[in-house]
A = this chain, B = another copy of it.
Amino acid sequence: MSPEFWGFLALRRREPQDGSSKAVTAAVPDISPQLTVAVPEISPQLPSGTNHPSFSRDAVELEQAADADVSTPKDTCTNPTAEAKLVSPETIAKVVPIGDGNALVPAYLLKTINWNVHKIATRKLLQSVFGRRVLATHNLTGKVSPAFPDKMPKAKLDEALVNDIVQTVAERCNVTENPVRTCITIKCADEGKWLRKQLTKLKAKKKEDLEKKRKAEEKKLKMNSLNLKT
């Protein structure tokens, strides 16, 4: 609850335009072109790192914090990001491309989606293609909110992947592309809130653990002093 606790989340721009952004981008060349692995439920597309045309230091910190803190808890059920490549070929074969073919989603997922409800369809695809933490730390445009010009902009979702989703939903749900994009914006916002909650929990737990440790030390000291007396 304390302001300083959220300092790194409720980010405010310190410099109007960070001159170091170019250098940072240069330092992070395109390593992997968004390989989408087949993982049942919540496929975790590698969170961030690749497609950030421009971000300033603060944004990077947010993502690192997110990566560091929330990667361990059971937010992904069975998934092993690394082990994904060791999965049997049959399972991998069940991933199919959508749109222009950049985005890959489990075939079974496509079958479960109700294409009458474009909002849900969009969210399902987003979840599958990007994973929660990417959604939480990115948005459609990567631009600052006009309503909150002091807040750090989030990174931009990979355009090609977004387009694949938008196309697919627009076609199969028979809606225009715009409501789909709006839906993406909302999903990212929602996942952002979710991430924050996760981090709050984590911090609370850490604090609690520290408290426990402190009390243990205290007790130990007390015992020691008692022993000395007798």
Contacts and interface: CB of A to CB of B under 8 A. Distances in A.
Interface of A: 147-148, 179
The 3 tightest CB contacts between A and B, nearest first, are: A147-B147, A179-B179, A147-B148
Contacts of A147: 147-148
Contacts of A179: 179
Nearest to A145: B147
A121 B11 CA distance: 40
Number of copies of this protein chain within its complex: 2
* Chain A residues touching B, majority SS: loop
A146 to B, nearest CB: 11
A147 B148 CA distance: 9
A147 B179 CA distance: 22
Contacts of A148: 147
3 contacts: A147-B147, A147-B148, A179-B179
A24 to B, nearest CB: 30
A179 B147 CA distance: 22
A164 to B, nearest CB: 24
A179 B148 CA distance: 24
A178 to B, nearest CB: 9
Nearest to A178: B179
A147 B189 CA distance: 13
A189 to B, nearest CB: 11
A148 B179 CA distance: 24
A50 to B, nearest CB: 31
A214 to B, nearest CB: 37
A51 B148 CA distance: 32
A145 to B, nearest CB: 9
A185 to B, nearest CB: 13
Nearest to A148: B147
A147 B146 CA distance: 12
A190 to B, nearest CB: 14
A179 B179 CA distance: 9
